[in-house]
């Protein structure tokens, strides 16, 4: 049986896409362009949080 961490973001701690994007940029700056395993896990978590916070565009007809 495979267990995985929850990827949901608590609504009380919800940040804007811009705030999360800034944290992603800071992570890349701190890493010098190469992410460690731990940093990669943080990056993946941040990208999921960013995607949840990003405004949804209407589909093009």
User: What is the pLDDT, as a whole number, of residue 55?
Assistant: 85
pTM for the model: 0.69
The label of the residue with tokens 């949840």 reads: 52
Instruction: Give residue-wise pLDDT tens across range 5-44.
Output: 455 555 446 899 999 999 999 999 999 999 999 999 999 9
Which has more confidence, 58 or 32? 32
Cβ neighbours of residue 10 closer than 8 Å, sequence gap 6 or more: none
User: What is the pLDDT, as a whole number, of residue 34?
Assistant: 96
Instruction: Supply the DSSP string of the chain, one letter for each residue.
Output: ----------GGG---HHHHHHHHHHHHHHHTT---HHHHHHHHHHHHHHHHHSPPPPPP-
Tell me how many degrees the CA angle 40-33-5 measures, rounded to the nearest 5. 10
Once rounded to an integer, what is the mean pLDDT over residues 37-59? 92
């Amino acid at each position: 049986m495979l267990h995985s961490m929850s990827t949901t973001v608590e609504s009380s701690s919800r940040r804007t896409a811009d705030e999360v994007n800034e944290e992603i940029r800071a992570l890349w700056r701190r890493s010098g362009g190469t992410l460690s395993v731990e940093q990669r896990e943080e990056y993946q978590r941040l990208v999921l949080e960013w995607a949840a916070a990003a405004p949804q565009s209407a589909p093009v007809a």
